[in-house]
Structure 1
Amino acid sequence: MIISLSESGAPLVDQIRDQILGLITTGLLSAEQRLPSVRQLASDLGVAPGTVAKAYRTLESEGFLVTRIGSGTRVSTKASATPGSVLSAATRLAVASKSESVDLEETIRVLRAVWPDG
């Protein structure tokens, strides 16, 4: 599993959670796929096991992961990848925003403004 932590100021727990969620939504982690143990991922990332455990618990409470004694932590069968067309459009939006020096918060505001009411 490819996760890289930065010194961006964002809490490590949030960075781990967000990157695992990104791997799930892009389909790089699929339903029933087993994640590394808390100790293994903590060792790989050079962080305390409690940091990884907290990220896993958060994702579990959000329905993205399932932990069972004896079978480890796996991606929930209820978690699904984002459709390719949406990922493609999001990538184009991100690239366009970066090239026009529009930051993430402004890009999100624009997306919310054009979001059709359902």
Structure 2
Amino acid sequence: MITLDPRSPTPPFEQLRGQLAGQVRGGVLAAGHRLPTVRRLAEDLGIAPNTVARAYRELEAEGLIETRGRNGTVVRAQGADPEVAAQQAACVYAERVKDLGVDPADALRFVRAALGS
């Protein structure tokens, strides 16, 4: 959840950028997580779309998110190459089981069985 303090001396775009960066680095927003559109997030937070766009641009420059055109803006995988590949594979799997309507608990059970743990 993002909250902006209008009385803060920190500009809104920086508050937004900082909170999103913290959520990405802290694992709250996982690799592949789709962020709201600029317009939607601006509307939800009651700020100008350019404010959200600037925060997204800075996060993209930091390598934390990426814009995929019509596919939206998503959290980039972080870490070493094997970890990045595993995060990407997890995202593909998660999207597929959502599309199939599989219960998340069952999806995790399938992964644990596949890993032999």
Report TM bin, short chain. 0.5 to 0.7
Which has the larger share of helix? 2
Whole-angstrom distance in 1 between the partners of 2:20 and 2:79? 12
Q: Is the 1:17–1:58 contact (alpha carbons within 8 Å) kept by the matching residues of 2?
A: yes
What residue number does 2:12 align with?
A: 12
| Secondary structure in 2 matching 1:58 | helix
Residue 43 and residue 79 in structure 1: after superposition, are their counterparts in 2 closer, same or farther (change >3 A)?
Answer: farther
1:75-115 CA-partner distances (Å, limit 9, x unpaired): 011369xxxxxxxxxxxxxxxxxxxxxxxxxxxxxxxxxxx
Secondary structure at 2:66 match in 1: strand
Per the alignment, residue 35 of structure 1 pairs with 35
Counterpart CA distance in 2 for 1:36 and 1:79 is 24
Aligned to 1:72: 72
Contact 1:64/1:76 (<8 A) preserved = yes
- RMSD of aligned residue pairs (Cα, Å): 1.4
Q: Please, which runs of 5 or more residues in structure 2 have no aligned partner?
A: 81-117
Q: Greater RCO between the two (CA within 8 Å, min separation 6)?
A: 1
Identity %: 48
CA displacement 1:50-93 (0-9 Å, x = unmatched):
0000000000011000001111000011369xxxxxxxxxxxxx
| Amino acid paired to 2:4 | L
Question: Partner amino acid for 1:34?
Answer: R
Secondary structure class of the residue paired with 1:8: coil
Instruction: Supply the distance in 2 between the matched residues of 1:79 and 1:47 (Cα, whole angstroms).
Output: 32
What is the TM-score when the length of structure 1 is the normalising length? 0.64
- The size of the alignment, in residue pairs, is 79
Gaps of 5+ in 1: 81-118
Deviant stretches of 4+, over 3 Å: none
**Shift in Å at residue 20 of structure 1?**
0.2
